[in-house]
């Protein structure tokens, strides 16, 4: 006997679990299937984000930042500590506790919202009479039936050809978050978000970190001014970043890993490291979903094909998050999950792709929303730019962190904000104001006229908005 539901969600990451909660809130009898196992074999919902992504990486970034502050910044505040030691095992155990708190939190939310949770792999069996049969292969096998299915099966790390992840020497994000001792030398392939965040963690803890990037430009998707400042900061901190490389071979032995590559000049080089993190992007995951049973359409990258409303080629089958087009971000997955549940309920769920913020949690943090200066130029948009440095912000001086700036880009005629780019302290929090402003189609002048608390980092945002009209007050 199959169990009947209105909505079955496959995948319990940020896309899936949020979709399930919203569907249940809207009155649907909802199930969520997730196969992630904790180290005891029990359920660990939350997906990549909770288990091997956003949450554990930020836990390690925080620990390593404390260590870095104690080593390099306490003295300027008059605090002397003697030699500071890092217990890596304890740091990793703390990270695991933070992950478990989040897993447990999601199980609690399922109960609270009356979402039926199934631990195991979900796969399509068949479509019959307007209903879908989905099998759960877990401790026991069960079949669920529902009119609506939301697929939120996420993504996996992309492997470099000839360098399979062994999670001992050649590490994906998973192994990179479980390194047990500070490697003397750490190699990173790919200077994207994971490479920079994880490279920063281990650099702060004392590793000699070399990042090898295939493209000739650094952080190509980031505003050029910000990317330039970031490159300067990271290299000053000690990250070695080589751009324009071509990897030819990766050899893993008991001792470590040797990467052979040609540098930007085409010269043959070799890099010997104790561990190698490969962070060259992620691929959509539909493994084991048995899409063939129902004829679900995938594109050439393996992503589920969806329209702007997250509808697949099958009636009442939806897909959200990393498994579909668009940026691979937890908050994008969540927004799509909510919107789909609302569309199933006949409401007008909406995701504004133009106002999805990006954050890179390095130090300094990098955050942006909207278009970059190079995109505006390419699109032929007439714009005005305004920039304000944290060096001229009182709170940043008091914090002892004056790196970076806030940059506004506004339409030359209407003054509407087209993009905001921040590099500096708490950029991850500051960007929210810009997102709200852009959602409400605010002009730079709107922000410039709003009272911001003093002393606060957000005054740099106000000043950058004033700078659009060339009338900063404190610079
Ligand atoms: P996932 O989180 O991947 O969840 C998919 C879930 O589905 C998994 O639990 C999986 O086990 C399950 N599943 C798959 N197939 C099946 C099946 N057939 N049956 C049952 N269950 C199945 N994004 C941010 O916004 N901010 C960050 O700071 C950030 N940091 C990151 C750091 C790292 C190291 C990594 C790797 C990613 C990071 N991301 C971050 C990206 C973020 O993790 C993803 O965008 C997000 O998790 C996507 O959510 P999702 O629900 O689509 O998929
Ligand atoms: P990424 O797309 O951010 O960066 C990959 C980098 O690897 C690019 O610079 C690319 O040019 C380079 N590259 C690709 N192939 C290469 C090769 N063969 N040799 C050398 N360099 C090569 O991907 P990453 O860092 O793996 O992260 C995956 C995704 O996870 C991100 O795009 C993001 O969506 C998400 N994420 C988000 C975070 C956040 O929001 N703070 C943190 C970490 C990940």
Q: Which residues of 304-340 are buried (b: 16+ CB within 10 A; e: fewer)?
A: bebeeebbbebebbbbbbbbbebebbbbbbbbbbbbb
pLDDT band at residue 254 using 50, 70 and 90 as cut-offs: confident
**Measuring from atom 40 of ligand 2, which residue has the nearest CA?**
359
User: Which one, of 36, 50, 22, 15, lies nearest residue 114 by Cα?
Assistant: 22
Q: Give me the catalytic one of 72, 350, 421, 454.
A: 454
Taking the CA of residue 11 as reference, the ligand 1 atom at the shortest distance is 7
Rounded to 5°, the CA angle 337-340-344 comes to 140
Interhelix angle 88-112/54-72, nearest 10 degrees: 140
The reply to whether 348 belongs to the active site is no
Residue 154 Cα to ligand 1 middle (Å): 5
Q: What is the pLDDT of residues 82-92, one digit of tens each?
A: 999 999 999 99
DSSP per-residue letters across 246-276: EEEEEEE-SS-EEEEEE-TT--EEEEEESEE
Average pLDDT score over the chain: 97
Ramachandran assignment for 469, one of left (phi > 0), alpha (psi -120 to 50 degrees), beta (any other):
alpha
Among the listed residues 37, 329, 330, 61, the one whose alpha carbon sits nearest the alpha carbon of residue 177: 61
C-alpha to C-alpha distance for 109 and 165, rounded to whole angstroms: 34
- How much distance in Å is there from the Cα of 354 to the middle of ligand 2? 21
Q: Which domains, and CATH codes, for the chain?
A: 3-157+283-351 (3.50.50.60), 182-280 (3.50.50.60), 355-468 (3.30.390.30)
CA 107 vs CA 146, 149, 258: distances in Å: 22, 20, 43
Q: Fill in the DSSP letter of residue 291.
A: G
Ligand 2: centre distance to CA 156 (Å): 12
For residue 292, count other CB atoms closer than 10 A to its CB.
8
Banded model confidence at residue 97, pLDDT cuts 50, 70, 90: very high
Where does the pLDDT of residue 71 fall: very low under 50, low under 70, confident under 90, or very high at 90 and above?
Answer: very high
Mutation test of ligand 2: which of 160, 161, 196, 281 has the most ligand atoms closer than 8 Å to its C-beta? 281
Query: CB neighbours (10 Å) of residue 25?
Result: 16
Q: For 178-225, write each residue's pLDDT tens digit.
A: 999 999 999 999 999 999 999 999 999 999 999 999 999 999 999 999
Ligand 1 shell residues, CB under 6 Å: 10-16, 33-36, 47-49, 53-54, 57, 121-123, 152-155, 173, 194, 285, 288-289, 321-323, 328-331, 333
Residue 188: nearest ligand to its CA? 2
Q: What is the DSSP string of 74-143?
A: TGGGT---SS----HHHHHHHHHHHHHHHHHHHHHHHHHTTPEEEEEEEEEEEEETTEEEEEEEESSEEE
Structural tokens at position 440: 């409400």
**What confidence score (pLDDT) does residue 131 get?**
97
Residue 182 to residue 442: CA distance in whole angstroms: 47
For residue 103, name the pLDDT band (cuts at 50, 70, 90): very high
**What's the pLDDT band for 140 if we cut at 50, 70, 90?**
confident
How confident is the model at residue 24, as a pLDDT?
Answer: 98
Q: What is the pLDDT of residue 264?
A: 98
CA distance 66 to 70: 6
The stretch 299-323 carries a mean pLDDT of: 97
pLDDT(379) > 90:
yes
Q: Is the separation of the CB atoms in 454 and 394 below 8 Å?
A: yes
Q: How far apart, in whole angstroms, are the C-alpha atoms of residue 84 and residue 116? A: 48
Residue nearest to atom 29 of ligand 1 (CA): 54
Q: Using H for helix, E for strand and C for coil, what is the string for 174-196?
A: HHHCCCCCCCCEEEEECCCHHHH
213 lines ligand 2 (CB under 6 A): yes
Cα of 228 to ligand 2 centre, how many Å?
A: 18
Mutate to test the pocket of ligand 2, among 55, 280, 368, 427 (most ligand atoms within 8 A of CB): 280
Strand, helix or coil for residue 336:
helix
Tell me the C-alpha distance between 395 and 458, whole Å: 9
């Amino acid at each position: 006997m199959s169990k009947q539901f209105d909505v079955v969600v496959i995948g319990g990451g940020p896309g899936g679990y949020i979709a399930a909660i919203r569907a249940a809130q809207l009155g649907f009898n909802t199930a969520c299937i997730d196969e992630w196992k904790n180290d005891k074999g029990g359920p660990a919902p939350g997906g990549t984000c909770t288990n091997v992504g956003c949450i554990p990486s930020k836990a390690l970034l925080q620990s390593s930042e404390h260590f870095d502050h104690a080593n390099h910044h306490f003295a300027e505040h008059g605090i002397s500590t003697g030699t500071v030691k890092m217990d890596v095992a304890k740091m990793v155990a703390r990270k695991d506790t933070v992950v478990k708190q989040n897993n447990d939190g999601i199980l609690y939310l399922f109960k609270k919202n009356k979402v039926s949770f199934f631990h195991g792999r979900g796969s399509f069996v068949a479509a019959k009479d307007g209903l879908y049969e989905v099998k759960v292969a877990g401790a026991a096998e069960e079949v669920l039936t529902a009119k609506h299915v939301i697929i939120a099966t996420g993504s996996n790390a992309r492997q470099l050809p000839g360098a399979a992840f062994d999670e001992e020497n050649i590490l994906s994000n998973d192994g990179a978050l479980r390194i047990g001792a500070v490697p003397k030398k750490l190699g990173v392939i790919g200077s994207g978000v994971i490479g920079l965040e994880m490279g920063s963690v281990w650099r702060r803890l004392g590793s000699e970190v070399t990042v090898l990037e295939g493209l000739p430009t650094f952080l190509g998707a980031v505003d050029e001014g910000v990317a330039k400042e970031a490159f300067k900061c990271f290299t000053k901190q000690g990250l070695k970043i080589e751009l324009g490389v071509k990897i030819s071979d990766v050899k893993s032995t008991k001792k470590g890993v040797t990467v052979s590559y040609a540098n930007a000049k085409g010269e043959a080089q070799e890099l010997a490291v104790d561990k190698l993190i490969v962070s060259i992007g992620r691929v959509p995951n539909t493994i084991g979903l048995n899409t063939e049973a129902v004829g679900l359409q995938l594109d050439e990258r393996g992503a589920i094909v969806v329209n702007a409303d997250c509808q697949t080629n099958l009636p009442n089958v939806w897909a959200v998050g990393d498994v579909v087009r668009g940026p691979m971000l937890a908050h994008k997955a969540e927004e799509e999950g909510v919107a789909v549940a609302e569309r199933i309920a006949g409401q007008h769920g909406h995701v504004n792709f133009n106002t999805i913020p990006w954050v890179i949690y390095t130090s300094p943090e990098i955050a942006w929303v909207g278009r970059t200066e190079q995109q505006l130029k390419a699109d032929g948009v007439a714009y005005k730019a305004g920039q304000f440095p944290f060096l001229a912000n009182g709170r940043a001086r008091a914090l002892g962190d004056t790196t970076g700036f806030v940059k506004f880009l506004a339409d030359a005629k209407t003054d509407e904000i087209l993009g905001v780019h921040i590099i500096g302290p708490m950029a991850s929090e500051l960007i929210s104001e810009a997102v709200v402003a852009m959602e409400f189609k605010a002009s730079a002048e709107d922000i410039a006229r709003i009272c911001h608390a003093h002393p606060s980092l957000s005054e740099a945002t106000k000043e950058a908005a004033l700078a659009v009209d060339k009338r900063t007050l404190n610079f």
